[in-house]
């Protein structure tokens, strides 16, 4: 069984074209689950029924929790699970391309597609796991010196000539993960309300010996982060909080306490700076 699980958060406008694209993304039967974490006034239930998808109403405890809830509702471990945002349109046979790569090697735990922005440019969806060096360099210089070596190392050449390769982590906006791998790792860590749950998943996959592979021959188009645009300041703060949570867990231990404090202060300052800049 191949399952498709998405989380809707006021996503009525984009949910219909997403579900319409799912059927053509695979020649295999698909079990599709829509988890609605903003059900009040939502038409997601009716839209899901229109396309034969299963519908679950959930409290909003974040993206990772929503995906975990959707996978748990299957009551059996699927061979593969496509985890994705609803504001996507999947290219024909894209799921089958990803699955074929995953099944070519049992060490592959997840495969991610090329994610195209609405303007046709490539989103950097397959990146290196953040370290202190690359993280600080990318945070400080990404917006003012786009070709800096830390950002290039972190983004792993995304946007350049596309080719299949291993990656530290794959964007949770769209990735196909082996069902047994998802169960083994207990899914996403839902203490991340939003952002970095995919980074954390990639890190735990690497620790457990599972590969993350980027396959650009499979493509999806991201039509827009509709659910976060109206709350950009709050989401920016959440991004930095999640980054601090991930790095603090990665660099744990008593001796690294000063480093964790420095990371926390630096991320707080960067978050406040970006929020202030966004209001002017």
Considering its fold, how many domains does the chain have in total? Answer: 2
Residue 21 clears pLDDT 90, i.e. is over it? yes
Concatenated DSSP letters for 22-55? HGGG-SS-EEEEEEES--TT--HHHHHHHTT-EE
d(CA 72, CA 76): 8
Residue 255 clears pLDDT 80, i.e. is over it? no
Q: Which residue has the higher pLDDT, 175 or 239?
A: 175
Confidence (pLDDT) at 259: 56
Q: Is residue 218 domain-shared with residue 97, that is, in the same domain?
A: yes
Q: Where are the alpha helices (DSSP H) in 86-148?
A: 94-102, 132-141
d(CA 31, CA 28): 10
Asked whether residue 244 is assigned to any structural domain, the reply reads yes
The CB density around residue 134, as the number of other CB atoms within 10 Å, is 20
Name the domain boundary from 198, 222, 246.
222
Confidence (pLDDT) at 230: 44
Q: Is residue 216 domain-shared with residue 276, that is, in the same domain?
A: no
Q: Which residue has the higher pLDDT, 70 or 279?
A: 70
Residue 144 clears pLDDT 80, i.e. is over it? no
Say whether 123 sits in a helix, a strand or coil. coil
Residue 6: domain span: 2-123+158-222
d(CA 220, CA 84): 10
Q: Is residue 75 domain-shared with residue 180, that is, in the same domain?
A: yes
Asked whether residue 39 is assigned to any structural domain, the reply reads yes
pTM, two decimals, is 0.82
Q: Is residue 116 domain-shared with residue 55, that is, in the same domain?
A: yes
Tokens standing for residue 247? 């790095």
Question: pLDDT tens for residues 35-54?
Answer: 999 999 999 999 999 999 99
């Amino acid at each position: 069984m191949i399952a498709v699980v998405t989380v809707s958060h006021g996503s009525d406008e984009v949910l219909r074209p997403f579900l319409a694209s799912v059927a053509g993304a695979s020649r295999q039967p698909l079990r599709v689950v829509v988890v609605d974490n903003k059900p009040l006034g939502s038409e997601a239930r009716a839209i899901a029924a229109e396309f034969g998808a299963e519908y679950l109403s959930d409290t909003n405890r974040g993206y990772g929790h929503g995906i975990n809830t959707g996978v748990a509702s299957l009551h059996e471990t699927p061979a593969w699970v496509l985890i994705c945002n609803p504001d996507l349109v999947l290219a024909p046979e894209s799921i089958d391309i990803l699955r074929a790569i995953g099944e070519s090697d049992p060490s592959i735990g997840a495969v991610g597609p090329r994610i195209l922005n609405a303007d046709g440019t490539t989103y950097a969806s397959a990146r290196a796991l953040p370290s202190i060096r690359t993280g600080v360099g990318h945070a400080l210089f990404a917006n003012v010196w786009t070709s800096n070596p830390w950002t290039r190392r972190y983004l792993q050449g995304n946007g350049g000539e596309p080719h299949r390769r291993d990656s530290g982590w794959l964007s949770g906006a769209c990735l196909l993960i082996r069902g047994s791998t998802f169960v083994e790792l207990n899914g996403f860590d839902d203490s991340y309300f939003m952002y970095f749950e995919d980074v954390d998943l990639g890190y735990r996959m690497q620790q457990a010996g599972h590969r993350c592979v980027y396959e650009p021959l499979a493509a999806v188009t991201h039509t827009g982060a509709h659910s976060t645009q109206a709350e950009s300041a709050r989401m920016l703060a959440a991004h930095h909080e999640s980054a601090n949570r991930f790095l603090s867990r990665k660099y744990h231990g008593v001796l690294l306490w000063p480093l964790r404090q420095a990371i926390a202060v630096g991320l707080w300052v960067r978050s406040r700076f970006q929020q202030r800049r966004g209001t002017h």
